[in-house]
């Protein structure tokens, strides 16, 4: 077997998948790679193979079930997810945990949050206009909007937002020592445990109270599962959608497509789906899957105990699934992208993320039709040390 290739592959631009991913996809078979931490893994880049791995019971997320020690997990960091995390369990535990959260994120329930999100977005734009250009779209809008929405939904005091930023940074940075990552996780866990205790004594109309009630009334959630779930929801709601708002606006402004949305706002839902397909978010593809039973994939025989990484951005550029996949087509109708994953571990907050992205672009296009970059595109600096891609700042004017 050939020596594993170092992964992630280098790219010319943070929002452009590496050409090596395209070469791997054309080769059809999974590619043997090695990340900085842990054992080698198989890299999956084809759309059909990606969907198979993400939905087949032959692959799991629970390393303990697969018999893989934490130190062997192929990853970008030396810190593994807790075994009781929603992201790192398999059925039946995963089915039970996901059921609790999904009830809070149904499309109907999320749609009920849209008016509130519009009010937040308009208030943020009011503030940007009041302070005058230039403005940093990351700090002034992209990060603030999803943070306020998730804080409202969970019932977390918005005044504590600076703490969340520190903790989320620690959990998503790839260059921090393991001790610092663990400290951030412990501090966030303690904070969430305190809020959960408060809601047990004085329930409110929020997601924390609802999940606490599930534990108190049925004891179907353990204390560790409750805290892990709250931590995951806060960090995901704090960072991923915020990153994509800034990424999307950068691409739209750089390529001149923003003006199309200002003149045709009805295009925005379709544009959001295309941008989700087109823009790579995670620097590592998807979370590592573990082979649970012998299976053949793309002509390669995978054996129990081996590990697989699905590169979602490569799958979303597969010509066998998408016409002219390297083109950003805001009117693309047939768009079964896997930006939110697929199968059992598909992002439980997908409906919320879609709504927030639509609200963000709708509000900006309506309120700031003359929005443009305040610096040349090449002068925008990007985070190179995080699991999630986004600019450090996005200077804009109007």
pLDDT in tens, 344-392: 888 888 999 999 999 999 999 999 999 999 999 999 999 877 778 899 9
Cα-based angle 392, 143, 346 (whole degrees, multiple of 5): 105
Give the per-residue pLDDT at 182.
Answer: 87
Query: What's the CATH code of the domain at 46?
Result: 1.10.630.10
C-beta separation of 24 from 7 below 8 A:
no
Please state the φ and ψ torsions of residue 117, each to the nearest 5 degrees: -65, -40
Cα-based angle 336, 341, 342 (whole degrees, multiple of 5): 70
Give the per-residue pLDDT at 123.
Answer: 98
Give the per-residue pLDDT at 367.
Answer: 98
Give the per-residue pLDDT at 286.
Answer: 75
Give the per-residue pLDDT at 80.
Answer: 61
pLDDT in tens, 38-71: 789 999 999 999 999 999 999 999 888 888 888 7
pLDDT in tens, 23-40: 999 998 999 999 877 789
Alpha-carbon dihedral of residues 319, 324, 329, 333, nearest 10 degrees? -60
User: If pLDDT is split at 50, 70 and 90, which confidence band does 79 have?
Assistant: low
C-beta separation of 386 from 126 below 8 A:
no
Q: What is the mean pLDDT of residues 167-184?
A: 82
Q: What percent of the chain has pLDDT over 70?
A: 96
pLDDT in tens, 181-217: 889 889 999 999 999 999 999 999 888 998 888 776 6
Quick check: bond before 8 cis, omega within 30? yes
User: If pLDDT is split at 50, 70 and 90, which confidence band does 78 have?
Assistant: low
Residue 10 has pLDDT above 80, yes or no: yes
C-beta separation of 344 from 91 below 8 A:
yes
Give the per-residue pLDDT at 77.
Answer: 64
- Number of structural domains in the chain: 1
Tell me which residue range forms the domain holding 245: 5-397
Nearest of 118, 233, 226, 120 to residue 168 by alpha carbon: 233
User: If pLDDT is split at 50, 70 and 90, which confidence band does 20 have?
Assistant: very high
d(CA 202, CA 191): 17
Residue 218 has pLDDT above 60, yes or no: no
């Amino acid at each position: 077997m050939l020596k594993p290739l170092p992964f992630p592959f280098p790219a010319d631009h943070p929002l452009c998948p590496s050409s090596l991913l395209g070469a791997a996809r054309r080769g059809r078979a999974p590619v043997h790679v090695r990340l900085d931490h842990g054992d080698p893994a198989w890299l999956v880049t084809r759309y059909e193979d990606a969907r198979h791995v993400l939905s087949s019971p032959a692959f799991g997320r629970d390393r303990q079930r697969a018999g893989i020690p934490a130190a062997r997990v192929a990853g970008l960091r030396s810190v593994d997810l807790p075994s009781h995390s929603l992201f790192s369990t398999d059925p039946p535990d995963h089915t039970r945990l996901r059921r609790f959260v999904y009830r809070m994120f149904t499309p109907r329930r999320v749609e009920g949050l849209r008016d509130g999100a519009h009010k937040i977005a308009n208030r943020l734009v009011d503030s940007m206009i009041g302070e005058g250009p230039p403005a940093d779209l990351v700090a002034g809008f992209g990060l603030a909007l999803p943070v306020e929405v998730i804080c409202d939904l969970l019932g977390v005091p918005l005044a504590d937002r600076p703490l969340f930023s520190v903790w989320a940074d620690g959990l998503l940075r790839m260059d921090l020592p393991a001790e610092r990552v663990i400290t951030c996780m412990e501090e966030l866990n303690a904070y969430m445990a305190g809020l959960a205790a408060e809601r047990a004594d004085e329930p409110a109309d929020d997601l924390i109270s609802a999940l606490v009630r599930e534990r108190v009334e049925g004891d179907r959630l353990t204390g560790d599962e409750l805290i892990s779930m709250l931590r995951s929801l806060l960090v995901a709601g704090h960072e991923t959608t915020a990153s994509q708002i800034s990424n999307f606006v950068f691409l739209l402004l750089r390529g001149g497509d923003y003006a199309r949305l200002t003149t045709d706002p009805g295009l925005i839902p379709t544009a959001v789906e295309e941008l989700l397909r087109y823009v790579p978010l995670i620097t590592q593809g998807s979370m590592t899957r573990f082979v649970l039973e012998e299976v053949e994939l793309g002509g390669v025989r995978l054996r129990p105990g081996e590990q697989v990484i699905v590169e979602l951005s490569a799958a979303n550029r597969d010509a066998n699934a998408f016409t002219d996949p390297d083109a950003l087509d805001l009117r693309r109708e047939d768009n079964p992208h896997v930006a939110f994953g697929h199968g059992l571990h598909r992002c439980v907050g997908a409906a919320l993320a879609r709504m927030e992205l639509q609200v963000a672009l709708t509000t900006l296009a309506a309120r700031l039709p003359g929005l443009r970059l305040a610096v040349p595109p090449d002068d925008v600096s990007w985070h190179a040390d995080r699991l999630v891609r986004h600019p450090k700042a996005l200077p804009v004017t109007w």
